[in-house]
Structure 1
């Protein structure tokens, strides 16, 4: 069951990071292993953000480890940057602003873990505190065994990692449920994918073209054209034109100019075909 919870968490995190940063994000499972708390502290790279979570169904604290690549890339994107040329090699500590964004990221991870846990139990998790020292964030004794879900996060051309560490003692209330066979929850999965695809479509970019004029010209006249010839279409300011998307007329527009002298168009009418396409989309 922990394998299933981890797989659901990975799917949820891809959607959650995309929503947080308004950019495409991919998440993949690296491993689900069982290590001691000492090994957890030894394996995390520094600097690292360690977030401690509490709540149902766990009997004790759990730990979220967010590496510097993930934290800095998401912080830059949430601030409106591109994060394409992010330099993380020389970073040895986090600023107060980065820690603030880190809390938001950690809270999002906990929320998605809460969703993933619904296959075995109702849950209500919340962020208790964040630390940058692995020793201060220890949620179990040094030799206590923990389940660690390691997730790779690809965002804005950078590869980061998020670890979810759950001590065995904290799993005690749901240990019987973890041995059950799970046959899936088709409806919830479909809803999750539907929401994710919808959010991606809303952030997609489309190329718009404005058709200013059309005129039929004899082929003999065209064959006689040479460099320097002028073809007058009689286009004037305020003239009607058509805005096209993917070879489909979408709007009637009026041609004008901005104060900076650039040519602009103002939408004056929605074409019927656009409304028909929206209706078809609702039916599907």
Structure 2
């Protein structure tokens, strides 16, 4: 009995494979290996950009890159997915992002400062105007990271055109048109969702020769691609700054005699100069002051060079 079931399963898989071969034979196209590299770059970019946007750790991976008709993509879209349409160089036409409900609602909850613990994947309610507004923000962020990923083949400039939930309205090509689809898995806050990036094959015409061969950027370009990528990551990094308002040399005998409630006078006045540091390195000279709400604030008055050491009137003890 088990052998018969196994034989039926093998025959079914062979039939599916034959159907797939017949379907692809209707299209004349070349596989584009650079799309795999662009997809992996997009994975890295999303893994860095989403935590900045949502304040939550993100794990992304490229699950699949395939070439299928637009109609088949539309039929396979998850229920109540958020669909975003983007345009811009280097594509010759529109591209589509399909964000499933789990990923979309998790992102909305996190962007609102929540924990995304109450996400109902089976909910089929229509999205509110506020949720769609956050969807535009999410889609714009993904397009920005795709634009960075495309830098391996040249300059890109993408922008969000619209968001929709109607697959027919968001379709970016005829149902019979061949498309390249990159499918990503994105996990955040205990939820795993799916992101599809759909690019009609015809829209790739301007850069198709570059996508057909594997390379990591033209060394003859005026700008180094790796430097640009590293610069993007550095610009997203966070720095801890400290303001040294006063330094005072105090005998250790006096310090050991301190008790809770004792007052230590530093003689700090409004308008007094101070030094702003990062990792103990002096960065700026600042002037102390207060805002209208009573909070202490500093005004940057001078940028210190890397080798400049501020004068210290006191001892280092």
1:134 aligned onto 2:190: no
| Change over 3 Å in CA distance of 1:13–1:199 after alignment to 2 | farther
- Give TM-score scaled by structure 2 length: 0.58
Query: 1:182 aligned to 179, 192, 214, which one?
Result: 214
Offset of residue 96 of structure 1: 2.9
Residue in structure 2 matched with residue 282 of structure 1 by the alignment: none
Aligned pairs (5 A) from 1:134-283? 134=167, 137-138=170-171, 139-141=173-175, 146-153=179-186, 159-166=192-199, 170=202, 173=205, 177=209, 180-185=212-217, 189-201=225-237, 204-219=238-253, 221-222=254-255, 225=257, 227=259, 230=262, 232-233=264-265, 235=267, 237-238=269-270, 242-251=275-284, 264=296, 266-267=298-299, 269-270=301-302, 274-276=304-306
Whole-angstrom distance in 2 between the partners of 1:150 and 1:57:
21
Q: Does residue 1:66 correspond to 2:96, yes or no?
A: no
Distance change in 2, residues 1:81/1:231 (3 Å): same
| Cα 1:192–1:127 shift into 2, 3 Å | same
Q: State the Cα deviation string for residues 142-181 of structure 1 (Å, max 9, x = none).
A: 7x7643211234567764432123456x379579738843
Q: Which runs of 5+ in 2 are unaligned?
A: 1-30, 309-317
Decide whether aligned partners of structure 1 residues 81 and 205 sit closer, same or farther in structure 2, where only a CA change above 3 A counts. farther
Aligned length: 267
Which residue in the other structure is 2:24 paired with?
A: none
C-alpha separation between the residues in 1 aligned to 2:300 and 2:203?
61
Partner of 1:47: 80
Asked whether the equivalents of residues 73 and 158 of structure 1 are also in contact (C-alpha less than 8 Å), the reply is: yes
- Find 2:62's aligned residue among 29, 39, 53: 29
